[in-house]
Structure 1
Amino acid sequence: MSPSQPVGSNALAAAVRDELTAAGLPVLPWEPGDARGTGVSILAGPDEPEVWIGWVKGEALSNAAIAALQAGAYRPDGSEVHPALRHSSIVQETMLAAIAKILEAAGFRVETDADDMRPNELLVLERQPGPSWRDPVVAPLAGTSGYMPGVRVRLIEGDYAGAITTVISAHWHNWRAVGPPDLYRVEHPHGTGELDVPRTAVTLAQEESRPDVSPRS
């Protein structure tokens, strides 16, 4: 099953968690009672098709904002508020906007104002199929800007066609090195030095095995 198409109980929540974790965001434990600390809170029932997301601010900022709110340190018309309330609101809005942008870029359908009773939460409805950063790197895009040293390639032309080797360096006839290189220097398929091959003679290798290919007579 493709990761872009979650299925089953809480599968959407698991996909959201994986995506935000991959982005480097701290994600709090599943159970609300365990949600101590700062980070993304993900709430979804076992039989609910959608997912609610919130941002839990740090304790110091949260406590300062609560204290200002309890003390009524703001004008009802919004013309003046204590800095703790303003900063708390900015942090909340900024983090939720960033989370929404990350998820939307990954193919999730997100609503930012889904429920007036939950103004500080995002609603994730589904993940639509489409290209993913998890997709393998394959031709024809692979190599369009040139392979870097260390990349495994397959020779597709010449005496050693079919052999898998490693790029040592790339070379351009144009000193500006714009676009794909004209020539690659690769490890010799038999491990006996180096071999210069034209750009058209290599493609990205999809397997790690190195077959014993003898030069053609």
Structure 2
Amino acid sequence: MNARFERLAQRVRDELAAAGLPVVAPGLDDELAVGAAVRISSWNQHFGEDPEVLVSWHTSPRLRSRATADLRRYAAPTPAVVLGDQVHRAMSAAVTAILSAAGFTVRASGNDYAPFDVLVVEGPDFRTPPVWSELAEGPDRTEDEPAK
């Protein structure tokens, strides 16, 4: 994988965790995952394009299991399917708002098979520390003064 996209994905994980969202550990089995899953997709490299950083939301395994079973069993949406859909909509909007506020450029993935995924187009300058990081403190600066 390209190191630039790995750094971007890690910065996305850090920002979402700083906002208080649970973040899925890279490599964790999908059956156990709950929260924001940040991954690098290299599928579009087959077409000569760069990899993409995507954020998906994983509801609890129990809700996922129930909604999936209901989709197979019933023609009309059940309460579990409706709840899962609404959670994905809400979390996609929340992830978009959080990352946008942190200086990332994001948009909907445009993937019909994963309509609530968020595509991270680019992030803030890596040389700029995130707003949640500790500020450099010196003897000539008080807590209320901005860093120079």
Settle same-fold status: TM greater than 0.5: yes
**How many residues end up aligned between the 2 structures?**
136
- State the partner residue of 1:85: 81
Which TM-score applies when normalising by structure 1? 0.52
Cα 1:55/1:165, change in 2 over 3 Å = closer
Determine whether 1:38 maps to 2:34.
Answer: yes
Cα 1:62/1:110, change in 2 over 3 Å = same
Runs of 5+ unmatched residues, structure 1: 1-6, 75-80, 139-151, 155-163, 167-202, 207-217
Q: Distance in 2 between matches of 1:205 and 1:105?
A: 20
Q: How does 1:37-186 map to 2 (within 5 A)?
A: 37-45=33-41, 48-74=50-76, 81-129=77-125, 133-134=131-132
Cα 1:42/1:136, change in 2 over 3 Å = closer
Q: CA deviation at 1:104?
A: 0.6
Cα 1:133/1:89, change in 2 over 3 Å = same
Q: Distance in 1 between matches of 2:22 and 2:133?
A: 24
Q: CA deviation at 1:103?
A: 0.3
Question: Structure with the greater relative contact order (CA < 8 A, sep ≥ 6): 1 or 2?
Answer: 2
Q: Distance in 1 between matches of 2:29 and 2:75?
A: 30
Q: CA deviation at 1:10?
A: 0.9
| CA root-mean-square deviation | 3.4
Q: CA deviation at 1:94?
A: 0.5
Q: Distance in 2 between matches of 1:29 and 1:100?
A: 20
Which TM-score applies when normalising by structure 2? 0.73
Which amino acid is the alignment partner of residue 27 of structure 1? V
Larger Rg: 1
- State the partner residue of 1:14: 10
Q: Percent identity?
A: 32
Q: 2:5 touches 2:53 (CA, 8 Å); kept in 1? A: no
Q: 1:29 touches 1:35 (CA, 8 Å); kept in 2? A: no
Cα 1:204/1:69, change in 2 over 3 Å = closer
Q: Distance in 2 between matches of 1:135 and 1:52?
A: 24
Q: Distance in 2 between matches of 1:119 and 1:93?
A: 9
Q: 1:52 touches 1:123 (CA, 8 Å); kept in 2? A: yes
Q: 2:33 touches 2:60 (CA, 8 Å); kept in 1? A: yes
Q: Distance in 2 between matches of 1:128 and 1:44?
A: 18
- Per-residue CA deviations over 1:51-106 (Å, capped at 9, x if unaligned) read 011011012211221121111240xxxxxx31111111001111111011000111
1:27 to 6, 23, 28: 23
